[in-house]
Amino acid sequence: MVDAFGRIATDLRVSVTDRCNLRCTYCMPPEGLDWIPGDELLSADELVRVVRLAVAEGVTEVRFTGGEPLVRPDLEAIIAGAAGLSPAPSISLTTNGIGLTKRAESLRAAGLTRINVSLDTLDRERFTSLTRRDRLADVLDGIEAAKAAGLHPVKINTVPMRGVNDDEVVSLVRWAIDSGVHLRFIEQMPLDAQHAWSRQEMVKADEILAQLASAFTLEPAAEVRGSDPAERWTVTSLDGAATGVVGVIGSVTRPFCAACDRVRLTSDGQLRNCLFSQTETDLRTPLRNGASDEEVVVLMRECLAAKKAGHGIDEPTFLPPLRPMSAIGG
Ligand code: SF4
């Protein structure tokens, strides 16, 4: 699956649900959203069929997302189906971490190899206010469970937000080094359901690096970046006692669209060639109407061929996606 700019899709993001057990203020209103009806969600078999076709088309990495993917009880079966393909793709998961204490082992046994946990603060009151749920302890326990299950390295995704958690950049890194997890700071993107994002308010990659430089010496990590969106830095405390690796993802100010290798499948079976795409390719209808593998693959190729050069957030014509992040998948 190749686009007009020569980029080849090798990384498939699969949203398995739009539902979530948190209500993060930057993602959705307190009452939640109009969830996708259950009969419109792809079944485990349908999801695995699309993954199989994508793998045959060159996809080598499959990341399961939501909403919150752990709210789906058949996630292990979906992962096992994907992991059992030949050639087997690398399987990863992005989660808020709640529920990992019970399922990290079974997910690992199903074929999961890597995990990213979203965590924006280590302060319980702040976590409760940000997510509208008092679940910080569950998330931290989930991270420990993932480590114990051998999902190494556990990556932590943190979105610094002005006046909310941007004073925790240094303390989060210290915690990550102590905990043996890899922290990645991600610039906030205009993906909230309330359309409240503002470029002026966004905490930029440069600001994050300046904060880090106040407490650590920073060296660019010696490795090829490729299509990895994270610029990785080796950070060492000023007394030289602690060292670790931190990623900074400048999604807005340092876009990596020119090297994008991603394609997304929503939980209701719509293929998206970009996070910010204004259009989707309906795979669910043909899947349920008896389309052959070849017919579905043609649709997938056509979808990717129409991919734009980038997200265009800085262009005057930019429009946020019609669906919120929880429905698109991270
Ligand atoms: S914004 Fe679109 S083109 Fe850019 S990296 Fe994300 S998915 Fe790829």
Quick: pLDDT tens for 1-20: 999 999 999 999 999 999 99
Cα(67)–Cα(17) distance, integer angstroms: 5
Q: Measured in angstroms, how far is the CA atom of residue 306 from the centroid of ligand 1?
A: 13
Mutation test residue for ligand 1: of 227, 249, 311, 325, the one with most atoms within 8 Å of CB: 311
Which residue minimizes the CA distance to atom 2 of ligand 1? Answer: 274
Bridge partners (DSSP) of residue 116 are: 94, 155
Burial 10-35 (b: 16+ CB within 10 A, else e): bbbbbbbbbbbbbbbbbbbeeeebeb
- pLDDT of amino acid 225: 57
What's the pLDDT tens digit per position in 155-191?
Answer: 999 999 999 999 999 999 999 999 999 999 999 988 7
Share of the chain above pLDDT 90, in %: 81
Does the pLDDT value for residue 261 go beyond 80? yes
- Ligand 1 atom with least separation from CA of 311: 1
Q: Which residues line ligand 1 (CB under 6 A)?
A: 256-257, 260, 262, 274-276, 310-311
Which residue minimizes the CA distance to atom 6 of ligand 1? Answer: 275
Tokens, residue 293: 């593998």
Which residue minimizes the CA distance to atom 7 of ligand 1? Answer: 274
Tokens, residue 181: 């997890």
Q: 23 pLDDT band (50/70/90 cuts)? A: very high
Long-range CB contact pairs, 236-239, < 8 A, 24+ = 237/174, 237/177
- pLDDT of amino acid 92: 97
What's the pLDDT tens digit per position in 268-322?
Answer: 999 999 999 999 999 999 999 999 999 999 999 999 999 999 988 888 888 888 8
- pLDDT of amino acid 122: 98
Burial 160-182 (b: 16+ CB within 10 A, else e): bbeebbeebbeebbbbbbebebb
Q: 60 pLDDT band (50/70/90 cuts)? A: very high
Which residue minimizes the CA distance to atom 1 of ligand 1? Answer: 311
Does the pLDDT value for residue 226 go beyond 70? no
Q: Measured in angstroms, how far is the CA atom of residue 263 from the centroid of ligand 1?
A: 9
Model-level pTM? 0.94
Which residue minimizes the CA distance to atom 5 of ligand 1? Answer: 257
- Ligand 1 atom with least separation from CA of 310: 3
Mutation test residue for ligand 1: of 275, 304, 315, the one with most atoms within 8 Å of CB: 275
Of the listed ranges 180-194, 235-249, 256-270, the least confidently predicted one is 180-194
> Distances from the Cα of 90 to the Cαs of 10, 139, 271, 274, 324, in angstroms?
11, 24, 20, 21, 27
